[in-house]
Amino acid sequence: MRLTTRGRYAVTAMLDLALHGDKGPISLADISQRQEISLSYLEQLFAKLRQMDLVSSVRGPGGGYRLSRDCTAINVAEIIDAVNESIDATSCNGKGNCQNGGVCLTHYLWDDLSQQIHRFLSGITLDSLVQQQEVRPVMLSGAE
């Protein structure tokens, strides 16, 4: 199972889009500055986000990215799925052939855990993160 900075970066960048997206397309350079993520790395991540139709792009000066759906209709699990291979915790990718073609001792445990995580993350929309942002005091992240 993988849940590393890649997934975190992707969610952070998408949230940045959700927060600033009302002012037209947002360039990766902006996100790069605000969130302290390397531009080239962002480009790689956004290539995948675009493939999964989570964002759409506008090229040329003044261009950038915008969410391709309303932020109430994009959840965190989708974002992580798009950039990470998966959030599966089993060794067999859910196939159940972990040991000699059969399920290993702990297959169901990891399978259940994966479902648990997926259920949790898919219940959280970008919008709900935006709401939370407005309630919880944003220490700095930009200002200061």
Partner DNA sequence: TAAATAACATAGTTTTTTAGTCGGAATTAC
Partner DNA sequence: GTAATTCCGACTAAAAAACTATGTTATTTA
Residues that bind DNA (CB under 7 A): 2, 4-6, 9, 27-29, 37-38, 40-41, 43-44, 46-47, 50, 57-65, 84
Residue by residue, DSSP assigns 38-80 as -HHHHHHHHHHHHHTTSEEEE-STT-EEEESS-TTS-BHHHHH
Q: How many residues bind a copy of itself (CB under 8 A)?
A: 41
Q: Could you say which of DNA, a copy of itself, none residue 65 binds, taking C-beta under 5 to 8 angstroms by partner kind?
A: DNA
Euclidean distance between CA atoms 135 and 94, whole angstroms: 38
Closest CA to 116 of 89, 138, 142, 95: 89
Among 16, 71, 81, 125, binds a copy of itself (CB under 8 A): 16
Q: Which two tokens stand for residue 46?
A: 């956004």
Question: Among residues 57 and 106, whose Cβ is nearest to DNA?
Answer: 57
Residue type, 55: V
DSSP class of 88: -
Q: Which residues bind a copy of itself (CB under 8 A)?
A: 1, 3-5, 8, 11-12, 15-16, 35-36, 76, 89, 91, 96, 99-106, 108-110, 113, 116-117, 120-121, 124, 129, 132-133, 136, 138-141, 144
